Amino acid sequence: MAKIGVVRAGVGLRAKRGWTWRVWVFCRKKPLGALGAVLLILMAFTAIFADALENYDPLYQDTPKQLTAPGREFWFGSDVLGRDVYSRVIHGSRVSLYVGLMAVLISTAIGTTVGVASAYFGGWLDLGIQRVIDALQGIPGLVLALALVVALGASLNNVTIAIAIAYIPRVTRIARAQALSVIQEDYVLAARAVGARAARIIFRHVTINSLTPVIVVAAGLLGNAIVTEAALSFLGLGVPPPFPSWGQMLQAGARGYQEAAPWLTIFPGLALTVGVFGFNLFGDALRDTLDPRLRGR
């Protein structure tokens, strides 16, 4: 009886522990993941409150003060048009977060739906979808996104759509593989036996139970999406000027100003590095936490 009471007390204690306890356990077991989460929170805070954190309008051109070195007036220096680099860096975080989050959300939603449907219905539908996915995966993601942006035109939304399409094949493959495993579970077979509709089985049973590896992949794609957006902007196919983008700022600083004004590339490069580093750290910790094969490590 005493043992039963101890067990019940332990269960009750665990039930009372809320999300704060889980966050504490995550920080203790995955300190690098916690560091990544802190970096992402800071990046999100900067993007949301960029208007309050800026020193100057990021589009304002003060030509007499062009290429001013970092100092009290311009914390990160000024660019060739006299614009404040600090203000442009913090506003550039909005572009990176928007493109990264929206591209991953779109690719995850479409890829999961297509992958689960392909696994559930099988037959010619599965065969046709997988051949299309094979063809898309044969093209490097950056090259595919580059071709799509050229076809659609350079704009913020077109860049987001292009990156999302480039990532759909990877998400589709993961979702299909997990769905094929879930379809063989007893609860799915039982739902089919009692005559449940295909839509109910797909969304209530198969899709929900296939999300864990998809979420892990999506977390890893966030950093890649930010790098892809910066690469497209660096090539002149990202967000059109004069709106600030980290890749665009790197391109402007790389055109003959590496020695005369190194701050033009140092600060946007550091911002890009810290953002991607945070996403990668948090994505790795999330993978280790959600993947049952890695929980014991």
What pLDDT was estimated at residue 275? 87
Q: Following CA atoms 226, 19, 289, 12 in sequence, which dihedral angle do they give, to the nearest 10 degrees?
A: -170
pLDDT of residue 211: 84
The pTM for the full model equals 0.83
Q: How far apart are CA 284 and CA 33, in angstroms?
A: 7
Residue 11 has a pLDDT of 46
Q: What is the pLDDT of residue 4?
A: 47
Q: Are 239 and 296 in contact (CB under 8 A)?
A: no
Ramachandran category for residue 67: left, alpha or beta (phi over 0 → left; psi -120 to 50 → alpha): left
pLDDT for residue 18: 66
CA–CA distance, 50 with 243 (Å, rounded to integer): 14
Domain 33-290 classification at class level:
mainly alpha
Q: What angle do CA 192, 217, 25 make, to 5 degrees?
A: 100
DSSP string spanning 89-157? Answer: HHHHHHHHHHHHHHHHHHHHHHHHHHHHHHHHH-HHHHHHHHHHHHHHHTS-HHHHHHHHHHHH-SSHH
Q: What are the structural domain ranges in the chain?
A: 33-290
Mean pLDDT by groups of 10 residues along the chain of 297 residues: 46 56 75 84 89 86 84 86 89 89 93 90 88 88 88 86 92 90 83 81 84 85 89 84 83 76 88 88 79 52
